[in-house]
């Protein structure tokens, strides 16, 4: 997949992070201009965002101002020189956004989940060279996210970015949408040229978590931040709890600790190389131990089969998990980390033992 760097996007200066700020929703021309002028005071903000058409969970809530908001975005552009972006969810949104010189489009999380909707938007963009940012789907599905990006790439778009806005989760957490950092990291591993932007607002859901999510995004080397910003957040017509004032945005950005992925210091690189050789050796040993463990698992599987006992015994599984977690805290290892690892290890053991039983059953059937 050919993907262009952020620096090739028209008028984008590749300073890190690329900051996109503006209200969840466009509410009035005055609101938009007031926010835009204030965020512009921080030279890190390059793009102004505002939702014109809002995908709301329930009807009879504010669903965006629609078409009348597009000239307000044009005015923001003229008065401040900021680039402007909005969400498009169907072909008619695309047509209207292009007519109003919107610089960058974004695809919302509720749209990314629908291949039909994504394809419709992609088809409407055929032959247009405009940057498109694709939010992750609501559910934690990397393939669905990549699929949407591929649909845009297939119609010829190469100025693409992904936005991590967290995932819906049945678990109650402190976040509105759980950030699962491993998913955008895996996306980056698959598509190294794809810029990744973090949307701390929809992850956090509340303004006091925004700064720490921004920092985390910088720590995993994401290229940009999209932060919902409002002159009067409490009075915002949508997502009031998670919006920050332009002054707070500037403070958050200025307080970020930015680190580089690589260093030019030779001593540092040498030390890192040595430590990494240590890790490589330990990982090999871990894998050799896993191989040995699997040999014992297979022996147990044979014995279970000979005695007609099921591969999975809930009691034993429970005991393994509990004991490993207890040991974890004694060894100063995070319990959840060890629990997750042993969950994977145990699942694979049961799968191997089930295979032993199935192979045996198949052979016996052939004989009969």
Instruction: Summarize as ranges the residues that interact with Mn ion (CB under 5 A).
Output: 24, 239
User: C-beta of 239: minimal distance to ligand PEP in Å?
Assistant: 6
Site string for ligand PEP, 216-235 (x = CB under 6 A): --------------------
Task: Provide the minimum distance between the beta carbon of 169 and ligand PEP in the complex, in angstroms, as a whole number.
Answer: 14
Binding track over 43-82 against ligand PEP, x by CB under 6 A: --------x---x---------------------------
137 belongs to the binding site for ligand PEP (CB under 6 A): no
Judged by CB under 6 A, the stretch of 103-111, 145-153, 168-176, 257-265 that binds ligand PEP is 103-111
| Residue 202 binds ligand PEP, judged by CB under 6 A | yes
8 A C-beta contact, residue 58 and residue 31 = no
CA distance 222 to 263: 17
Give 93 or 165: the residue with its C-beta nearer to ligand PEP. Answer: 165
Q: Which of 164, 165, 188, 230 binds ligand PEP (CB under 6 A)?
A: 165
Question: Which of 20, 109, 132, 213 touches ligand PEP by CB under 6 A?
Answer: 109
Sign of the C-alpha dihedral, residues 114, 119, 121, 122?
positive
Tokens in use for 55? 């995908």
Q: Which is nearer to ligand PEP, 168 or 313 (CB)?
A: 168
The tally of CA atoms less than 13 A away on the side-chain side of residue 332 is 0
We find the least distance from the C-beta atom of residue 176 to ligand PEP, in angstroms, to be 9
Residue 196: which of 261, 250, 133, 130 has the closest Cα? 133
How many chain residues bind ligand PEP (CB under 6 A)?
A: 9
Closest alpha carbon to 210 in 170, 250, 270: 250
Beta carbons of 130 and 104 less than 8 angstroms apart: yes
Q: Which of 135, 159, 188, 207 binds ligand PEP (CB under 6 A)?
A: 135
- Tokens encoding 51: 């939702």
Asked if 93 interacts with ligand PEP (CB under 6 A), we say: no
Q: What is the DSSP string of 55-120?
A: --SSTTS----GGGHHHHHHHHHHHH--EEEEE--SHHHHHHHHHTT-SEEEE-HHHHT-HHHHHH
Omega before 232 cis (within 30°)? no
From the list Mn ion, ligand PEP, none, pick the one residue 165 interacts with, judged by a Cβ distance below 5 to 8 Å according to partner type: ligand PEP
Rounded Cα–Cα distance for residues 199 and 87 (Å): 14
Six-digit token string for 366: 């052939």
Q: Are strands 132-135 and 224-228 parallel, antiparallel or unpaired?
A: unpaired
Which residues pair with residue 229 across a beta bridge? 244
CB of 235 to ligand PEP, least distance (A): 17
- Least distance from C-beta 226 to ligand PEP, angstroms? 7
Minimum CB–partner distance for residue 138 and ligand PEP (Å): 8
**Among the candidate windows 104-112, 207-215, 264-272, 325-333, which touches ligand PEP by CB under 6 A?**
104-112
Rg (CA), the chain: 25
CA distance 158 to 362: 51
Residue 184 touching ligand PEP (CB under 6 A): no
- The residue among 133 and 328 lying less far from ligand PEP, judged by its C-beta, is 133
Single out the residue of 24, 197, 204, 297 in contact with ligand PEP (rule: CB under 6 A): 24
Residues that bind ligand PEP (CB under 6 A): 24, 51, 55, 108-110, 135, 165, 202
């Amino acid at each position: 997949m050919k993907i262009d760097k952020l620096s090739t996007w028209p008028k984008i200066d590749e300073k890190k992070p690329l900051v996109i700020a503006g209200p969840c929703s466009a509410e009035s021309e005055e609101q938009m201009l007031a926010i835009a002028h204030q965020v512009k005071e921080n030279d890190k903000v390059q793009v102004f965002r505002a939702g014109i058409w809002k995908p709301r969970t329930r009807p009879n809530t504010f669903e965006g101002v629609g078409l009348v908001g597009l000239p307000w975005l044009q005015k923001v552009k003229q008065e401040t020189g900021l680039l402007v972006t909005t969400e498009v969810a169907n072909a008619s949104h695309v047509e209207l956004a292009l007519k109003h010189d919107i610089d960058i489009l974004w695809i919302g999380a509720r749209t990314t989940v629908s291949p039909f909707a994504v394809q419709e938007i992609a088809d409407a963009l055929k032959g247009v060279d405009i940057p498109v940012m694709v939010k992750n789907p609501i559910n934690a599905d990397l393939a669905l996210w990549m699929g949407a990006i591929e649909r845009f790439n297939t119609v010829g778009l190469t100025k693409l970015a992904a936005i991590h806005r967290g995932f819906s989760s049945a678990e109650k957490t402190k976040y509105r949408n759980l950030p699962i950092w491993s998913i955008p990291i895996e996306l980056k591993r698959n598509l190294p040229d794809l810029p990744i932007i973090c949307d701390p607002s929809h992850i956090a859901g509340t303004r006091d978590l925004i700064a720490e999510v921004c920092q985390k995004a910088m720590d995993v080397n994401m290229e940009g931040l999209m932060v919902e910003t409002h002159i009067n957040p409490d009075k915002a017509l949508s997502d009031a709890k998670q919006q920050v004032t332009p002054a707070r945005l500037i403070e958050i950005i200025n307080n970020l600790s930015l680190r580089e992925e690589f260093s030019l210091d030779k001593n540092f690189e040498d030390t890192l190389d040595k430590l990494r050789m240590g890790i490589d050796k330990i990982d090999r040993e871990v894998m050799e131990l896993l191989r040995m463990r699997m040999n014992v698992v297979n022996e147990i599987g044979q014995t279970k089969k000979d005695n007609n006992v099921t591969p999975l015994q809930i009691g034993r599984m429970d005991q393994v998990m509990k004991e490993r977690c207890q040991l974890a805290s004694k060894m100063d290892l995070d319990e959840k980390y060890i629990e997750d690892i042993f969950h994977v290890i145990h699942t694979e053991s049961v799968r191997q033992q089930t295979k032993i039983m199935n192979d045996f059953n198949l052979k016996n059937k052939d004989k009969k």
